[in-house]
A and B are shown apart, each in its own frame.
Chain A
Amino acid sequence: GIQVEQSPPDLILQEGANSTLRCNFSDSVNNLQWFHQNPWGQLINLFYIPSGTKQNGRLSATTVATERYSLLYISSSQTTDSGVYFCAVENAGKSTFGDGTTLTVKP
């Protein structure tokens, strides 16, 4: 099946810093989503981005489908941005999640 790799696995930032999270996938995909999982386990959909670039406030994402990667940018990070960020790709009717990036933003 398709492989999804996220990097870095862990990231510690000072409040106000910027960061880039990466998602590589091994095959062509129909869909790609970025999620933030909060401490209660709830998955918050950040972006649905099979290709191109989108922005939502301090967050933006870019997917280059031909090169099989996606990037999530977080600018001016806040402590509430802490949590686990997952990318999930859909291929052959199934969604596969990466192992996530655990982000800790310190005040």
Chain B
Amino acid sequence: GAVVSQHPSWVICKSGTSVKIECRSLDFQATTMFWYRQFPKQSLMLMATSNEGSKATYEQGVEKDKFLINHASLTLSTLTVTSAHPEDSSFYICSAPFRQAHNSPLHFGNGTRLTVT
């Protein structure tokens, strides 16, 4: 079945540094991937839509210069949290649709728990 791999699963970094998170579709191509953020005891909030070969589309209130998204190939999207601060500590999850037909379910990575100290 379709698998989405996310790496790393957890990361601790110091305030002011940048962190890169990778999301890979392992056995299918994904022209579109989605990045979500989840704070403790809250729901998943869509941050941005990653588009292969073009700029990402960011949701309202998400700083595009802080959360850099690159979709360099049909199987890889990266999210870079630049100049991270403690308030960026969160659980970040990516997903990709596995399009065998017109509509298809989203497949999710296992998430990345970011802690900024």
Contact = CB atoms under 8 A, between A and B. Distances in A.
Interface of A: 30-31, 33, 35, 40-43, 45, 48, 50, 86, 88, 90, 93-100
Given A94-B49, A97-B36, 9 more contacts: A31-B104, A31-B106, A40-B110, A41-B110, A43-B111, A88-B106, A90-B103, A90-B106, A94-B34
A45 B105 contact: yes
A95 B111 contact: no
A83 to B, nearest CB: 13
Interface of B: 34, 36, 38, 42-46, 49, 91, 93, 95, 103-108, 110-111, 113
Chain A interface SS verdict (over half) = strand
B103 A30 contact: yes
A98 B103 contact: no
A88 B97 CA distance: 13
A39 to B, nearest CB: 12
Contacts of B110: 40-42
A45 B107 contact: yes
Nearest to B108: A43
Given A45-B105, A50-B103, A95 B46 contact: yes
A42 B111 contact: yes
